[in-house]
Amino acid sequence: MNYINSRIEKLQNLLFKNEIAAALVQKPRNLFYYAGTSQPSNLWIPAEGKPILFTRRAHELTEQVSTIPTIVKVSTFKEMKNYLMELDLFPSSTTYIGAELDFIPYNLINKLKKDIEHENITNITNLIMKQRVQKEESEISKIRESTMLWKQSHEAILQNGGVNKTENEIAAIFEHEARINGGDGIVWFHRWDAALPGGGIVASGENAWVISGHAMTVTGVGLSQALPWGASKKILKTGDLVVVDYGVCKEGYHGDMARTYSVGKPSYKQKDLWNKLLDVHFQVIDEIRPGVTGAHLYHKALEIVKKMNLEDYFMGIKENRGAYLGHSIGLEIDEFPVIGPRATDPLLENTVITIEPKFMVPGLGSVMVEDDILITQKGHEILGDVGHELFEI
């Protein structure tokens, strides 16, 4: 696979520029990206020379599926070092070796340093994440497939959701449809403490203006304090607004979308709130093109909601509001960059970001819409094929 070789060469260039002698890749998402498989392995990528994949388990299977030419069966860091030493490929003690230090457990980092007798270990996560921002055509195609799964799950909710269903039943309808149509049944996070029940959120009525957990605003309350966000056992009743915010992963790549549903006919105020949300959503999307910053998109949204006098209910409620508008997606659902006030780097062509505005008005309801946006040479493309109405169930 030529794209694997190209990815490795790009990382090698980054290592060379940052004076890092070699990278040791262990995170499963990154192994898949650089080696074509997430089988348990340690991928050694020198700044100059050929990569070596050291398998910890499933060696024969890894040989069949990985495109790395040299695959060696080892079970410890010491064995890996000895192999490299015999070939005169191990860096000197004065050089730096890169590792994913924000992912590898502390004890394992210490074991790595001890076993390979090398103290100069530096974090390479930022280098990897910045490389992964721009997607290849094959990656974009996989994200498109995930958004199509989202559409199928959405249609299942329209057909089977409604009054007297529980939030948890709506979640099960969504997840079942995604799974039987090829979904992986899991979403992958970059953040170490992130988790979503089944990959998403269903929050209705008063549950949709409760803010629980982190890095989210419309969260729902969950089934228990063991995981206190997501769908609950609350029964949907006429007049409820229901937010469905789900990540769907297929063959490693994520779609991340949200729509809002009304149980029965929405009130005039609910419909008006939805229309205002769509106004924000599409005005921001109209700004997306290569070179624009995430900070610009965020401030554009704030500018619009201030004119609507809805700032206190945008991305949260009053003092409990999130300073973000979206994020990038790919092999993980929460990739760099976050679309917010600190996102000052220009967005690049072939990046896929989400735009996910929401209003949360206690007593009236919460509304949320989220789309996946591909940044193209001349502007942008909305991925997926789900309408933007306030759907009745």
> Are the C-beta atoms of 202 and 175 separated by less than 8 Å?
no
> Are the C-beta atoms of 147 and 122 separated by less than 8 Å?
no
Dihedral sign from CA coordinates of 175, 177, 178, 181 = positive
Q: From the CA atom positions of the chain, what is the Rg in Å?
A: 23
Segment 62-99, tens digit of pLDDT? 999 999 999 999 989 999 999 999 999 999 999 999 99
Main-chain phi, psi angles of 37, to 5 degrees: -155, 150
Identify the pLDDT of residue 269: 98
How far apart CA 272 and CA 267 sit, in angstroms, is 9
Q: How confident is the model at residue 1 (pLDDT cuts 50, 70, 90)?
A: low
How far apart CA 299 and CA 280 sit, in angstroms, is 11
User: How many other CB atoms are found less than 10 A from the CB of residue 22?
Assistant: 24
Indicate if 244 and 344 belong to the same structural domain.
yes
Q: How confident is the model at residue 217 (pLDDT cuts 50, 70, 90)?
A: confident
Instruction: Give the DSSP per-residue string, 119-131.
Output: --EEE-HHHHHHH
The whole-model pTM stands at 0.95
- One-letter amino acid at 64 equals Q
Segment 236-288, tens digit of pLDDT? 999 999 999 999 999 999 999 999 999 999 999 999 999 999 999 999 999 99
> Are the C-beta atoms of 193 and 173 separated by less than 8 Å?
no
Segment 139-163, tens digit of pLDDT? 999 999 999 999 999 999 999 999 9
What HEC string does 240-303 produce? CEEEEEEEEEECCEEEEEEEEEECCCCCHHHHHHHHHHHHHHHHHHCCCCCCCEHHHHHHHHHH
Q: Hey, is 87 helix, strand or coil?
A: coil
CA distances from 60 to 41, 56, 79 (A): 12, 11, 18
Indicate if 84 and 126 belong to the same structural domain.
yes
Indicate if 232 and 379 belong to the same structural domain.
yes
The gap from C-alpha 216 to its chain's centroid, in whole angstroms, comes to: 13
- One-letter amino acid at 382 equals I
Residue 300 belongs to a domain with what CATH number? Answer: 3.90.230.10
Indicate if 227 and 367 belong to the same structural domain.
yes
Indicate if 371 and 285 belong to the same structural domain.
yes
Last residue of one domain, picked from the residues 132, 155, 176: 132
Indicate if 225 and 98 belong to the same structural domain.
no
**Closest Cα partner for 8 from 166, 138, 128, 91?**
128
Indicate if 164 and 59 belong to the same structural domain.
no
The gap from C-alpha 83 to its chain's centroid, in whole angstroms, comes to: 36
Indicate if 300 and 315 belong to the same structural domain.
yes
Indicate if 241 and 146 belong to the same structural domain.
yes
Identify the pLDDT of residue 215: 67
Identify the pLDDT of residue 213: 84
5 pLDDT exceeds 90? yes
Instruction: Give the DSSP per-residue string, 145-193.
Output: HHHHHHHHHHHHHHHH--TT-BHHHHHHHHHHHHHHTT--S----SSTT
Residue 51 belongs to a domain with what CATH number? Answer: 3.40.350.10
Q: For residue 263, how many C-alpha atoms fall within 13 Å in the half-sphere facing its CB? A: 24
Indicate if 321 and 364 belong to the same structural domain.
yes
Torsion of CA 317, 323, 328, 333, to 10 degrees: -50
Q: Hey, is 374 helix, strand or coil?
A: strand
Q: How many domains does the chain have?
A: 2
Segment 348-389, tens digit of pLDDT? 999 999 999 999 999 999 999 999 999 999 999 999 999 999
Indicate if 367 and 323 belong to the same structural domain.
yes
- The overall longest dimension of the chain from CA atoms, in Å, is 75
Length of the chain: 393
Q: Residue 370's domain spans which residues?
A: 134-392
Indicate if 105 and 61 belong to the same structural domain.
yes
216 pLDDT exceeds 80? no
Last residue of one domain, picked from the residues 88, 107, 132: 132
Last residue of one domain, picked from the residues 78, 108, 132: 132
> Are the C-beta atoms of 352 and 328 separated by less than 8 Å?
yes
Residue 76 makes CB contacts below 8 A (sequence gap 6+) with 115
